[in-house]
Amino acid sequence: MAAGKGSRALVFDAYGTLFDVHSVASLAEELFPGHGDALSRLWRQKQLEYTWLRTLMRRYEDFERVTEAALRHATRALGLDCPPGPLNRLLVAYLHLAPYPDVRDALPALGTMPLAILSNGSPHMLGAVVKNAGLDAAFAHVISVDEVKLFKPSPKVYQLACDRLGLKKAEIGFVSSNYWDVCGAASFGFRAWWINRGGATPDELGQQPVATLASLAELAAQAGKT
């Protein structure tokens, strides 16, 4: 099924879909030799866990605070001494995450359809990472969960895209590399595509994507056929 068919706009997740959250691993390795990969992965794991737990507890903090808390936990769990200098360098690196290699060519290939980002990121974090990657012109809207003070996969988050774009659920295509996010979007009523770059195993959450693609290049190729 072509990605553009039936969709009047495409909405993208940011972290892990457009931007490689593990591009911080090289700096982490520089700061903590032998622990860079483990630190990056535990940091990301706890970052996601904290968003889900804070939503369940109704104790929202923006993604910058969540990201810092997750980093502090990860360094402690790995037995690493992380004074303010290295900690701040890693947090700043999150504002300069590298786009995946398929992003720059794929977005223009999607044609004139409006594109948006819908992300857990705070407005400041999203503005910085999009600008630093030189992708400002690619997106008509950059939408943060901060507007509703809840994190994905709350349905209220996905509703933000409908409200901002002025479109019905079924008119929006949603693209994410995070399967739990795909399931949340599909459950809400979006037509969701899963970008499975690493050959991950789908979660058992009772929802399915419209299609599973190996890269954003495949999404662009499908959209170009409509």
* Cα(135)–Cα(103) distance, integer angstroms: 9
Please report, for residues 17, 27, 28, 176, the alpha-carbon distance to residue 135 in angstroms, rounded to integers and kept in the order given.
14, 23, 25, 17
* Cα(209)–Cα(194) distance, integer angstroms: 6
- For residues 115 and 136, the answer to whether their CB atoms sit within 8 Å is no
Catalytic residue among 13, 62, 146, 181: 13
13 is catalytic: yes
Count of all residues that appear for the chain in the document? 226
**DSSP assignment letter at 122:** -
Active site residues: 13
